[in-house]
A and B are shown apart, each in its own frame.
Chain A
């Protein structure tokens, strides 16, 4: 029986740009159950990182605001939690790992100090105990010589090791939810394989829910059970992973999947999506993907479609007029 861990409802985040508020995340809703990996896919500028920072409430206070929605963590709306409460939650109930492992660690502090600091913030235990926990969690992430790593500085470790340390820090307080924002993008592919395997092990052992943010469809196919696709700050499609790849409903998803080369498929040319992502401050009327969409019709440019369940597959959602039409046709019949 799946337990609902995170429930985001109608999240809306805005930024100030040149004295005007622009919406970076617009009416985004999704959920994650315990022990499942949800993939959040999109290209640069789609709002996926902003979404995760909104959930963690790590956005810069003066230039941004969460102007709507709820974020229910284990049933409580953390958007209403005060600063002190959020500090308790971060690291303990939700943890985050970032894209650049080398930059996420303090270059002037030994690893031991950094991990122990994180542990002591959330646990009322002695330093010695914290050290032991740090040792254990480094072993958990597969670091061969934890004692030596603890004594090292970040620049003495490789990218892969740093990311393991980050994961260790994130896991040290046994969070329920792990947000991984492009965790392997900056790593070599053989190291990426190691890290992805590690994350799967953690999911199995600790029943952690993971929000996997990435632009790499290969990672999504291997790791995630469900996927949401974002474009221009909105969710355009949501589906279980097998169905998403087998029959993508939204033209953007289709374009993305078609433009990714698959190893061993021996293709010599790929279709691609023309044009580029719209500027947040200059969004087109109607559907935001219409200017680049091969199926665009007049109605697409007039009115933005809603995110609705797909006809015949209600656990899937899609923001496109096309499958609305399918539904109408089917209902007529």
Chain B
């Protein structure tokens, strides 16, 4: 059993709370106790709807934000304890791909220089060596060296995203955090970029943290999936296990809500009642209880703890859902 590449332990992150002019600003509880491990070589997906905190989690792991409490271990080091200066050399091992292909590339810098920048910072290579590397990476993502001479605004969204991917690859990172990398792209372009990411993982021995709200995209690329709701992980399992046996009421609603592009399949949509609670005023007990049709007294009073209901399948729920005929397996709790 190898060591996890990334280990997140009980991370809590809040925003705001400072003293405004007249009154205290409300505290936004963005991350409310998140723990998970990412093993080297795997694609770990963080899935959830807007406001669940998945992007914030990505930024915490990339040390663009620091948690209020908890630990984040990367490659054997607790990065929460590091200063920005100490973190800088480690950044060669963690690279990020961002959602917005238009904002994430500096419009005034040539594409080849953008891709070469991590090399410039983290290695001692000469200009020629860098040029060679950049041209190679451009080819890998399906562009040519001539494209490198242009500026970002001349490219389409899909092409820009590929440039972002090339840049993330330059220093051969161990971990790539992809924050909604295909959400802003048209469907046919999404497929292009996802295929590219899959191939690159094999060729460059990468580990992905894939953040997305789109379950169909995640199903394609992920090995294990964690479902987030209101700043906490409600269910974690391998892809097959999650899609075959979703146990958390939220996961089940999420899966059923995705419209299937097949008119012959009628969907049994589980419609959640109500709206997402405000992050400034979290519900007591289980964070999902306000929208859950199985909510009972215990859910209102007691916040559930994560437990392992079958090997590798973790859940945060007092009453996980089993379909008819399934026997509730022995609690393989930690």
List A contacts of B191 (CB < 8 A).
Answer: 259, 261, 270-273
In the bound complex, do residue A276 and residue B156 qualify as a contact, i.e. CB atoms below 8 Å apart?
A: yes
Contact count A vs B, C-beta below 8 Å: 131
Q: Tell me which of B26-34, B263-271, B293-301, B315-323 binds A.
A: B263-271
Q: Which residue of B lies closest to A271 (CB)?
A: B191
**Which residue of B has the minimal Cβ distance to A267?**
B220
| B325 within 8 Å of A (CB atoms) | no
Closest B residue to A161 using CB positions: B275
| Cβ B188 vs Cβ A261 within 8 A | no
A274: B residues at CB distance < 8 A: 192
- Would B258 and A256 count as touching, CB distance under 8 A? no
Are B187's CB and A260's CB within 8 A?
A: yes
Q: Which of B49, B253, B263, B276 contacts A245 (CB 8 A)?
A: B263
Other-chain contact of A190, B190, B198, B262, B272 (Cβ < 8 Å): B272
CA distance A161 to B138 in the complex (A): 44
Name the residue of chain B whose CB is nearest to the CB of A157.
B275
- B residues in contact with A298, CB < 8 Å: none
Residues of chain A within 8 A of B221, CB atoms compared: 268
Q: Does B213 count as interface, using CB distance less than 8 angstroms? A: yes
Q: Once the chains bind, are B254 and A215 in contact (CB under 8 Å)?
A: no
Query: A259 contacts B269, CB within 8 Å?
Result: no
**Contact status of A263 and B187, CB under 8 A, knowing A161-B275, A245-B263, A270-B194:** no
B50, A43: Cβ atoms under 8 Å? Answer: no
The verdict on A160 contacting chain B, using a C-beta distance below 8 Å, is: yes
Counting contact residues on chain A (CB < 8 A from B), the size range is 35 or more
Residue in chain B with minimal CB distance to A222: B259
B188–A262 touching, CB < 8 Å: no
A257 near B261 (CB under 8 angstroms)? Answer: yes
A217 part of interface (Cβ distance < 8 Å): yes
In the bound assembly, the distance between CA atoms of A276 and B253 in angstroms comes to 35
* A269 CB contacts on chain B under 8 angstroms: 194-195, 198, 220
Closest residue on chain A to residue B220 by CB atoms: A261
**B154 near A: Cβ within 8 Å?**
no
The B-contacting residues of A in range 143-168, CB under 8 angstroms, are: 144, 158-161
A308 to chain B, nearest CB (A): 24
**A220 and B261: CB pair below 8 A?**
yes
Q: Which of B159, B186, B198, B219 contacts A43 (CB 8 A)?
A: B186
Chain A residues with Cβ under 8 A from B213's Cβ?
A: 188-189
Q: Is the CB of B272 within 8 A of A221?
A: no
Residue interface bits A255-291, CB-to-B below 8 A is 1, else 0: 1110111111111111111101000000000000000
Judge if B87 is at the interface, Cβ distance under 8 Å.
no
Interface residues in A169-218 by Cβ distance below 8 A to B read 188-194, 196-197, 215-218
1/0 contact string of B224-264 vs chain A (CB within 8 Å): 00000000000000001001000000000111111111111
CB proximity of A49 to chain B, nearest CB, Å: 14
A144 to chain B, nearest CB (A): 8
B187:A196 contact, CB within 8 angstroms: no
**A198: nearest chain-B partner, CB-CB:** B271
Which of A190, A193, A266 lies in contact with B219, CB distance below 8 A?
A266
Interface residues of A in 215-239 (CB under 8 A from B): 215-222
| Contact (Cβ within 8 A) B220 A260 | no
Say if the beta carbon of A17 comes within 8 Å of chain B: no
Q: Assess whether A141 is interfacial by the CB under 8 Å rule.
A: no
Residues of B within 8 A of A219 (CB): 259
Decide: A218 near B271, CB < 8 A? Known: A189-B254, A269-B198.
Answer: no
Cα A260 to Cα B191 in complex, Å, equals: 8
Mark contacts of B269-297 with chain A using CB atoms, 8 A cut-off: 1 yes-contact digit, 0 otherwise. 10110111000000000000000000000
Chain B neighbourhood of A245, CB < 8 A: 261-264
The winner among A190, A268, A274 for most chain B CB atoms within 10 A is A190
Tell whether A242 is near chain B: CB-to-CB under 8 Å. Answer: yes
Note all chain B residues with C-beta closer than 8 A to A196.
259
How distant is the Cα of A196 from the Cα of B271 in the complex, in angstroms? 11
Contact check, A215 vs B186: say whether CB atoms are below 8 A apart.
yes
Cα distance A318–B10 in the bound complex, in angstroms? 57
The interface residues of chain A lying within 8 Å CB-to-CB of B214 are: 189
A41: shortest Cβ distance to chain B, in Å? 10
Q: Within 8 Å of chain A (Cβ to Cβ): is B216?
A: yes
Is B262 a contact partner of A261 (Cβ separation < 8 A)? Answer: no
**Is there contact, CB below 8 Å, between A218 and B261?**
yes
B271 touches A197 (CB 8 A): yes
Contacts of B194 in A (CB 8 A): 269-270
Q: Is A37 located at the chain interface by the 8 A CB criterion?
A: no
CB distance from B201 to the nearest CB of A (A): 11
Q: Chain A: which residue is nearest B199 at the CB level? A: A269
Q: Does B39 contact A (CB under 8 A)?
A: no
Shortest distance between the CB of A247 and any CB in chain B (Å): 12
Given contacts A241-B263, A261-B216, A263-B219, contact A190 B195 (CB under 8 A): no
- Is A44 at the interface (CB under 8 A from chain B)? yes
B5 within 8 A of A: no
Answer whether A272 and B258 are a contact pair too, CB < 8 Å, given A161-B275, A189-B213.
no
Q: Bound complex: CA of A138 vs CA of B187, how far in Å?
A: 34
**Chain A interface (Cβ < 8 Å from any Cβ of B):** 43-44, 144, 158-161, 188-194, 196-197, 215-222, 241-242, 245-246, 255-257, 259-274, 276
* Subset of 8 A-B contacts with CB under 8 Å: A190-B49, A190-B272, A217-B261, A220-B261, A222-B263, A264-B260, A270-B220, A274-B192
- Residues of chain B touching chain A, judged by Cβ–Cβ distance below 8 Å, are 49-50, 156, 158-159, 186-192, 194-195, 198, 213-217, 219-221, 240, 243, 253-264, 267, 269, 271-272, 274-276
Which 3 pairs between the two chains have the least Cβ-Cβ distance? Answer: A218-B259, A272-B191, A188-B49
Known A-B contacts: A222-B267, A262-B260, A266-B240. Give 8 more (CB < 8 A).
A158-B275, A189-B213, A189-B258, A190-B254, A190-B257, A218-B259, A221-B262, A261-B191
